[in-house]
Amino acid sequence: RGFQPQDTDIILSSYPKSGTTWLKALTVALLERSKNHSSDHHPLLSHNPHGIVPYFELVHISSEAVLDSHATARDAQDPQGLFLRLCTCAGTCSIHKIELNRSILESMFKSFCDGTFSYGPFWEHLLSYWRGSLEDPKRVLFIVER
């Protein structure tokens, strides 16, 4: 089995294109706040949030404190650590800066609505973390963005 999160790790989860960058930036800002960086040395001024918070599926060494994943709670069962799940409305998932012809866009939309899109059905992904937050509120924080 690959990467094993530690109980001190924070794992961020969001459905693709639904607030991942925002969640990473917010988490980094909160964690870095206690380090008293001068305003011109804050990591977010020189690095993209995706460069600061790696995907845990791609991490080979468990030395990171904050990691990111698009996995459902079911797919990430039994790891240690704190999970932060960002909940956004399905309508806010976006296709960003991609020029697509109409047939490809229609195919992607159908796939999203049918639940066959990359990480499975949107609502199943969301509900897996909602249920996890009810079962283990000390480890799973479910954040709703409106």
What is the helix (H) or strand (E) element at residue 87, kind and residue range?
strand 82-87
Query: Is residue 144 within 8 Å of residue 87, measured between CB atoms?
Result: yes
Catalytic residue selected from 50, 70, 96, 125: 70
Instruction: Give catalytic status of residue 37 as yes or no.
Output: no
Q: Is residue 61 helix, strand or coil?
A: coil
For the record, the structure tokens of 10 come out as 């924070």
Q: Is residue 92 helix, strand or coil?
A: helix
Residue 134, Cβ density class (10 Å: 0-12 exposed, 13-18 middle, ≥19 buried): exposed
Catalytically annotated residues: 70
